[in-house]
Structure 1
Amino acid sequence: MNVKPLYDRVLVQRVQSDEKSAGGIIIPETAKEKPLEGIVRSVGPGKLTDSGENAPMQVQEGDKILFGKYSGTEITIQGEEHLILREDEILAVIED
């Protein structure tokens, strides 16, 4: 199934969190917080401006991003959790 976001929305796949803490303690699945980082998998054409044109998106496919804890809508695509976010819910692009 392919999902193409509309307007200024972005499809994001969360980055997997670590299984162990820095001290070597194994963290059970129930105690983990969902990661606030993700990889952009698909972007919409951009928000419509007053002139009827699409504003360019600030992120593109493959970007690693940081987003808020309660941002977006969770969806499942082929058994994997994804988020659909508005572009303005993205806090930063992470550059390695």
Structure 2
Amino acid sequence: MNKYAFRKFLPLFDRVLVERLMAETKTKGGIMLPDKAQGKVLQATVVAVGPGKGVVQPLSVKVGEKVLLPEYGGTKVVLEDKDYFLFRDGDILGKYVE
């Protein structure tokens, strides 16, 4: 399995391909959480970006940045048995600054 399968996929226009972060499976106290109790993960890492929309509108995120996603939306893309999601640049709510 190729862990860089997303390199074979190029988003078009203002689309951003992200990989959602894994849900927490334990509490801070060490208690294991069942699948139903785990919250929906709204954080993701950008793995690929499209060229932008038009000539003068670059995208607001770059590969490797951590972003905040909306609770709903995005298009699921499966690349070599791994789930990624496509969002429009304008749908991404924000990015985390380190």
| Within-5 A mapping of 1:20-59 | 20-48=26-54, 53-59=55-61
- Counterpart code for 1:85: F
- Flag structure 1 segments of 5+ consecutive residues without an equivalent: none
How far apart are the structure 2 equivalents of 1:6 and 1:31? 36
Q: What amino acid does structure 2 have at the position aligned with 1:18? A: E
- Equivalent AA in structure 1 for residue 25 of structure 2: E
SS in 1 for 2:40: coil
- 1:9 counterpart = 2:28: no
Partner SS for 1:4: coil
Alignment partner of 1:68 is 2:70: yes
Structure 2 CA distance, aligned partners of 1:6 and 1:83? 13
The one of 71, 87, 96 equivalent to 1:85 is 87
Distance, in Å, in 2 between the alignment partners of 1:71 and 1:60 is 20
For the residue of structure 2 that corresponds to 1:41, the secondary structure is strand
Helix, strand or coil: the match of 2:93?
strand
Contact 1:8 1:86 in 2 (8 A): yes
Instruction: Give the drift of 1:28.
Output: 1.7
CA shift for structure 1 position 16: 1.0
Which residue, 74, 86, 97 being the options, matches 1:95?
A: 97
Q: Normalising by structure 2, report the TM-score.
A: 0.84
Aligned-CA RMSD value: 1.5
TM-score by length of 1: 0.86
* Residue-by-residue CA offset, 1:19-54 (whole Å, 9 max, x unaligned): 112343211224323310000000001112xxxx25
Identity across matched positions, percent: 36
